[in-house]
Structure 1
C-alpha cells in the first residue's frame, strides 16, 4: 500500500495545501478529505493520480478546509458522467451531518441532470460510530472522535499481517478512541505547531496539539510510525527539521513530518 500526502497544512495556510491524503493499493484509491478547493485536482495530478480513478472518498467533518475540495469532486464526477467521460461509480463516506451538508450545497449549485446521478452513479454512504466497511480490499472501521467543536469521525484500516493504520482526523486523540488507535503501526495525527511556539500560534485555543503533545501521546499508545500533519505554514522551509527535533525527544518510534506530495510505503 502507498500513502500519498496531498496536503499538510491547517485551514489558513497559503504556502502548502490543506491536509488530505490518498491510500492506494492495486490501482484502487481511498482519499480522505479534499482540502479547501479545486487545487485538489492539481495535487492529485502532481502525485500522478488520475482523479477519475479515485472512487472512494471519506470526509471527516464539515470544516471548509476539508469539505470544499469534495464539492469540486462531486461536480466533476457528475459533469463527466453526463459527458460520457466517466465510467463506473463512486462512493463518498461520512457521518450524517457531513453527507447532508454535501447534498444541501449540491442542491444549491448543481444542475438537475447532475443531481439525478446521486445514489445512482454517485453514492453517499452514511457511516455510524463503530461501523465497519470494506474499502479498496481492506476492513475500515469508522469512529466518532467526540469533538467539542463539530462532529468528526476518524478511522482505522486493517493492513496485512494484522497491522493497522489509524487516522484521528484533525483534532487531538481522546480516550474514547483507544480501542481503535492503540498499538497502531501507522498513526496520522495533527500537530498544529511546535510546543516552543505555542504562545505564538495558540493551538490549545483551536483545540489542536503541539508536536510535543502528539509525540508524547503516540508513545503512550505504542504507535510504531507517526505522521504529523495539519500544521501552520510559517516554518515551512524548516518544518521537517524543527518538528523532528522537538518530536524525537518524546517519541521512540519512527517520526515523519511530510511535505505536500510526499509518499510512504505502508508495510
Structure 2
C-alpha cells in the first residue's frame, strides 16, 4: 500500500462539448495502490494524446466509469476500448478491463464498438473487456475503494454520477456535467472532494446562456458546495473563450460564495487528493 501519497486527480480535459482550445471534460484518479481509475474519455481520438501526455499506464487501469452518452463523453471511450483491446491482442495488457455505466451507455458502447472496431478487437468485448450495467444506488468495490453510482435525474440524456469512498473514509463525489439534484444529497453532502460543472462565470451568463443548456455558473456551483459543507471543490466542463484567465477569474468568483478550497484546473493539471 502506498498510503495517501499516491492519491491524486489528473484532469485530462476540462471543457464543455464544443470547446476547441482544450479537451472535453474527463479525468482519472490515482488510487492508494497506484491503480488508475478513469472517468469518461471526451469526444474522440484526442483522449489517446491526453493520456500519453500524462504518462498514463494502461496496465495500471482496469476500471472506468462512463457518466452518459453525450458525444463529448462517450466517443473517446471507443478509442480507449480499441487501445486496450489492441494492447491485449499484442500481449501488452494483463487482466481484464471493466467499464461501469447505465443501460443506455452500455447499449451505445456495444453498438458502436461492434460497428467500428476490428473483429479481433471487438472479440475482446465480453471476454476480457466488460461493460457492467449499474442502476441508481449500485455499489461496486475495486482496488480498495467503494463506488456508489447515482442517477442525477437529468432532463436531457440519462446520466449517472458516483461517490468514491476510500479505505480511510475519504469521499470523492463526481456530479457529472449538470447541476446538482437533491436526490443525490447523501453522496454530495460533506464530501471531501466535489467535482461539479460550471459552464461560465455568473457575470458571463448572458453571453454563454448556461441555463438554456441545463448548466450552472461558478456562482451556483460554489453556493452549492458551501451549502453542502464540502471541503474541496473542483470546477470543470467550462467554456473555452477565457482559457487564459479562466483559472484566476473562476477561482476569484468561487471564493465569493465558498469558503473551502476551490480548484479550477487546466487540462493536464494534477491535484493531490490527500
TM bin (shorter chain): over 0.9
Hey, what's the Cα distance between the residues in 2 that align with 1:20 and 1:202?
A: 22
Match of 2:63 in 1: 56
Hey, what's the Cα distance between the residues in 1 that align with 2:20 and 2:227?
A: 33
RMSD, aligned CA: 1.1
Match of 2:151 in 1: 144
In the superposition, the TM-score normalised over structure 1's length comes to 0.97
The alignment partner of 1:21 has SS state of strand
- Checking the alignment, whether the CA contact within 8 Å between 1:30 and 1:136 is kept in structure 2 is no
- Checking the alignment, whether the CA contact within 8 Å between 2:58 and 2:93 is kept in structure 1 is no
Deviates more, 1:247-256 or 1:158-167: 158-167
Aligned ranges 1:155-170 → 2 under 5 Å: 155-170=162-177
2:18 to 12, 17, 26: 12
Which consecutive residues of structure 1, in runs of 5 or more, have no partner in the other structure? none
Hey, what's the Cα distance between the residues in 2 that align with 1:229 and 1:149?
A: 19
The alignment partner of 2:84 has SS state of helix
The alignment partner of 1:134 has SS state of strand
Hey, what's the Cα distance between the residues in 2 that align with 1:72 and 1:112?
A: 15
Match of 2:81 in 1: 74
Hey, what's the Cα distance between the residues in 1 that align with 2:89 and 2:255?
A: 51
Hey, what's the Cα distance between the residues in 1 that align with 2:30 and 2:45?
A: 21
**C-alpha deviation, 1:123, in angstroms:** 0.9
**C-alpha deviation, 1:81, in angstroms:** 2.0
**C-alpha deviation, 1:160, in angstroms:** 4.3
Hey, what's the Cα distance between the residues in 1 that align with 2:260 and 2:92?
A: 45
- Checking the alignment, whether the CA contact within 8 Å between 2:86 and 2:121 is kept in structure 1 is yes
The alignment partner of 1:184 has SS state of coil
Match of 2:3 in 1: none
Which consecutive residues of structure 2, in runs of 5 or more, have no partner in the other structure? 1-6
2:264 to 232, 257, 260: 257
- Checking the alignment, whether the CA contact within 8 Å between 1:41 and 1:51 is kept in structure 2 is no
The alignment partner of 1:143 has SS state of strand
The alignment partner of 1:161 has SS state of coil
Hey, what's the Cα distance between the residues in 1 that align with 2:167 and 2:123?
A: 39
Is residue 232 of structure 2 the alignment partner of residue 225 of structure 1?
yes
In the superposition, the TM-score normalised over structure 2's length comes to 0.94
Hey, what's the Cα distance between the residues in 2 that align with 1:162 and 1:76?
A: 33
Aligned ranges 1:92-103 → 2 under 5 Å: 92-103=99-110
Deviates more, 1:45-54 or 1:257-266: 45-54
- Checking the alignment, whether the CA contact within 8 Å between 2:58 and 2:84 is kept in structure 1 is no
Hey, what's the Cα distance between the residues in 2 that align with 1:136 and 1:18?
A: 26
1:107 to 110, 114, 136: 114
The alignment partner of 1:243 has SS state of helix
Hey, what's the Cα distance between the residues in 2 that align with 1:63 and 1:200?
A: 23
- Checking the alignment, whether the CA contact within 8 Å between 1:8 and 1:20 is kept in structure 2 is yes
Hey, what's the Cα distance between the residues in 1 that align with 2:58 and 2:246?
A: 29
